[in-house]
Structure 1
Amino acid sequence: MIGIFLITHGSLGEALIQCTCHVLNKRPVQMVQLGVSAQDDPLDLLPLARQMLALADSGQGVVVLTDIFGATPSNIAKKLIAPGRVEAIAGVNLPMLLRVLTYRERDMHTVVQRAVSGGCDGVLHIK
């Protein structure tokens, strides 16, 4: 099973996990989150991020989900990338996270593809 690691601003990651728990009626395994605050030094968080990555990895890899590309959380995620084993996706939202959970038993390529399409397809103009 592919692990999930959310690296986000503040408590967004934990809020997404709580929403997932509500939808699924349980907390998914192999899912961790790291909230980054304005006063955090990214270089200080990198060792912690590596430890948390190891917690989420059962040997099949980890998808790292982050909120805004180019911001501190995504810059930390970028340092964790190991192509094919640790992949990072920016723009996390609840549909994306649910899609990762749905396909995490498959291969990394499929999970990444489904995550991105789920995140995009989950954005709709409600009329």
Structure 2
Amino acid sequence: MAGILIIAHAPLATALKECIAHIYGGLPARIGGIDVLPDCDPAQVIRDAEAEIDRLREENGALVLTDMYGATPANIACRLAGSSDVRVLAGVNLPMLVRAVCYRAAPLDQLVEKALMGAAKGVHAVGPQMSPCESANATTCLPSNASAAGGAMPAAASVVGASPRADEGPAQS
């Protein structure tokens, strides 16, 4: 099973771990978290993250989940992506994490796909102004303003290291 490390702006990593513990009735093994504080020393956090990856890594590697692409936690997580058995995803949300925990035994690249699908499928506009969705397929239930924008919906998560779209700049923390 892949180890999972969450690196995020404080207190998000701890909060996500607590949510998983709540859902599963206890924290599953090999899940860690690092809360990045505003006044942290990034070099020290990188060392801590490398040690945590070594502790969490399993036979099929490790998955690192981080909050916002381009911010300090994601930049720290990016430093871990140099290993062939570590993948990093930015844009973590609870559905992504739940899906990652559920598919930890899958090969690492399949785990990444499942986590990304969980993130995207877990994002919904909810309220009386929305028409009910009859299908889990997001492309069949787009808000009326999405079709005016060419039907494109923003990605819920991204693989760190992938090139951002031309209209996206890196976010700053």
TM class, shorter-chain normalised? over 0.9
Note if 1:80 corresponds to 2:80. Answer: yes
Distance of 1:126 and 1:7 partners within structure 2:
28
Provide the residue aligned with 2:132 in structure 1.
none
Note if 1:114 corresponds to 2:128. Answer: no
Provide the residue aligned with 2:19 in structure 1.
19
2:79 alignment partner, SS class: helix
Cα offset, 1:126, TM superposition? 1.3
Deviations 1:27-75 (A, max 9, x none): 1100011110110121121111110111111232100000000000000
Distance 1:55 1:83, change over 3 A: closer
Provide the residue aligned with 1:105 in structure 2.
105
TM-score by length of 2: 0.71
2:87 alignment partner, SS class: strand
Give the conservation status (yes or no) of the 8 Å contact 1:84–1:108: no
Q: Cα RMSD over matched residues?
A: 1.1
Which one-letter code corresponds to 2:34 in the other structure?
L
Greater relative contact order (Cα 8 A, min sep 6): structure 1 or 2? 1
Higher Rg: 2
TM-score by length of 1: 0.95
In structure 1, stretches of 5+ residues that fail to align are none
Deviations 1:83-119 (A, max 9, x none): 5410000010110000001111010111000111100
Note if 1:51 corresponds to 2:45. Answer: no
**Where does structure 1 differ by over 2 angstroms across 4 or more consecutive aligned residues?**
none
Which one-letter code corresponds to 1:115 in the other structure?
A
Distance of 2:39 and 2:83 partners within structure 1:
30
Distance of 1:76 and 1:104 partners within structure 2:
23
Distance of 1:83 and 1:43 partners within structure 2:
18
